[in-house]
Structure formats: structure tokens, C-alpha cells
Structure 1
Amino acid sequence: MKILTNIVVLLLLSAPLFAQDDDIQQEQDPQVKQKIQAARVAYITDQLGLTPGEAEKFWPVYREFSEKRQQLLKQYRQAKRNPDPSKSTEQNDKDLVEMGLKVKQQEVDLEKEYSDKLLKVISAQKLRSLPDAEKRFRQMILDQIQRRQGMQERREKMRDRQQQRLQQRNN
């Protein structure tokens, strides 16, 4: 299983950079999204120690939960981006605070509902480990992005230095 995880992570390393912003994510290459999703599935399956039978039952339920959670968060982000022009800034901010609290409550309700469903498929210990596995995967992706950005910056600096040297030689 660790070999599979390593292979998927290597596939992920070869994928182009992707951004967290939803607008940009929707424009990215579908193959990149698929690679990231496959890496996520492999990583979480490995981290939770899911058996093939558990994984087969777990992932459809968990995908459904994730999609519903993303829909909730998307509604809130859209409200943040598009304040009501007929209201004052203060009123829009108050509305956003209220909406944020409602979304959090809906998210908790959703987690309760799906934790019951997931407990029928996996043990409580594995379910308890799920948020940590997700956090580690997200952190791994963020670390990867930072490394790639750092490498890109170093390449650009090297190109700039080479161009400066060429210009100095030509002068």
C-alpha cells in the first residue's frame, strides 16, 4: 500500500501547479484534478488502513459528504464575493457573520448525519483519524506548491543573472 501511495504522490509531483482558489480550480486541467483526487484517495485509504471492502463502501459515502460540504462553503464564499449593493458595508458584514454561523451549524449537522453513515462502514477509530489524514494530505499539497514556487523563483533568478552576465559581456 505504501508503494501505491508513493507512486500516486510521484504522479502528483509531475502534475502542474494548481491553486486553491475555486475559480482557478474550476479552470484547471481535468486530468490534474483526477490525479489529485486519486492521490487523495490513495493517501487517505493508506492512512486510515482501510481494507478493500471498507474502501469500496467508504468512498461513495465520503464523496457525497464532501460534495455537500463543498456546496455549503461555496455558498458562503459567493456571498462574501458579492455583497448586496443596496446595503451598507456594516449591514453586509453583519449578514456575512450570521451566514457564516449558519453555514458552520449546517456543516456540523452534515458531519453528524454522515458520521452515522460512515460508522456503519468503518470503525470509530478510523473515522476519528479521518480529519487528521485530510489535514496531512492538504499540508503535503501545500508544501509541494511552496517547493515548486521556490524552484520556479530560483530558476527565474538564475535566468536573470545569466542575462545580466551576457549583457555585461556584450558591453
Structure 2
Amino acid sequence: MKWNLLKNIFKPFAAWMMLTLWVNNNAQAQGPGGREKLESAKIAHITERLALTPETAQKFWPIYNQLSEKERALRRKEVEMRRTLDASELTDAEAETKLDQYFDLKEEQLALEKESVQQYQDVLSPKQVLQLYKAEADFHRMVLQKFGERRRGGPPNR
């Protein structure tokens, strides 16, 4: 039972993590300024999608950046946890402990997401918070599509 639950949790996270790592590697591979260009494009995309005023943007972006860094740190912790894990060498008791640690980390991530929503709502409307999550997902999808086109040598034939 726990394995199926764990597998269902890992699949979306693994896909998202692969996307993040791939985007980061490709941004760095673009040469100097690649990551900055990507970050600037993300800021512009989110600012536009949320229709942020200059005053709201000035309040929003420091909160967003701080929370994003905390989120990245938790994701790195999870990746490290999985990278160093060799389940074949664990006893059942050790495996149980690792599962407990994994779910503790997931609870930390959920708590951070709840904290993020509360902090965002100090600056944004609830509707804008929902739009933020959609804008982030759309941006990641768009970046993946662009990098895919670049790898294939052009846009897909439609």
C-alpha cells in the first residue's frame, strides 16, 4: 500500500524535477546570461498574466523570490534524499524510517505551500494566487516546448 502511494507521489514530482533540471541545464548551456534571460522571461510572463501594477509587483516579487528559494531548498533536500537512497541495502526498519522522513519532507513542502498562499494573499487577490499557479505551469510548459523545438531544429509540423 505505501509503495503505491509513494509511487503516485514520486511520478509527478519526478517529472517536474526533470523539467526543472533540464531547464536549468539548458539555460546554463545558452551561455552567459542564459539563466538571467529565462528568469526575466518568467518575471515578465507572470507579471503580465497576473496584471500586476508596478506597486503590487514591487511588493510581490520579494515575497515570491523568498518563497521560491525555500521551495527549491526543500526540492534539493528531496532529490538528495532519493539520490543517496539504496533501498536494497536497507532493513525493513530502516526503510520504514526513510519513508517516515520522506513524508515529513512532504509535510514541510505542503506547509510551505500553505504559507506561500497566505503571504501571497497579503499582496494578491485569491483569484490572482490561482492565476499565479497556472502562469507558472504555463511558463514551464512553454519553456519545455521551446527547448524541444530547438533540439528538433524548429517548430513541430502541424
Work out the number of aligned pairs and report it: 133
1:117 corresponds to: 119
Gaps of 5+ in 1: 1-18, 153-171
In structure 2, list runs of 5 or more residues that go unmatched: 1-18
List aligned pairs for 1:56-75, cutoff 5 A. 56-75=58-77
Give the letter for the 1:116 counterpart: Q
Higher relative contact order (CA 8 A, sep 6+): 2
Offset at 1:129? 1.1
1:123 is displaced (CA, Å) by 0.9
1:27–1:81 CA distance, 2 compared to 1 (3 A)? farther
Match of residue 127 from structure 1: 129
Q: Describe the SS at the equivalent of 2:52.
A: coil
Q: Deviations over 1:15-51 (max 9, x none)?
A: xxxx7427x7399245111111100000011011111
Equivalent residue letter for 1:141: V
CA distance in 2, matches of 1:109, 1:73: 14
Question: Alpha carbons of 1:20 and 1:115: their partners in 2 closer, same or farther (altered >3 Å)?
Answer: closer
Task: Report the counterpart of residue 152 of structure 2 in structure 1.
Answer: 150
CA distance in structure 2 between the partners assigned to 1:71 and 1:26 by the alignment:
20
Tell me which structure has the larger Cα radius of gyration.
1
Letter in 1 for 2:77: Q
In structure 2, do the counterparts of structure 1 residues 134 and 21 end up closer, same or farther at CA, with 3 Å as the change threshold?
Answer: same
- 8 Å CA contact 1:44–1:134 kept in 2: the answer is yes
- Give the share of equivalent positions with the same residue, in percent: 29
**How far apart, in 2, do the equivalents of 1:102 and 1:138 lie?**
27
| TM-score of the two chains, using structure 1 as the length reference | 0.67
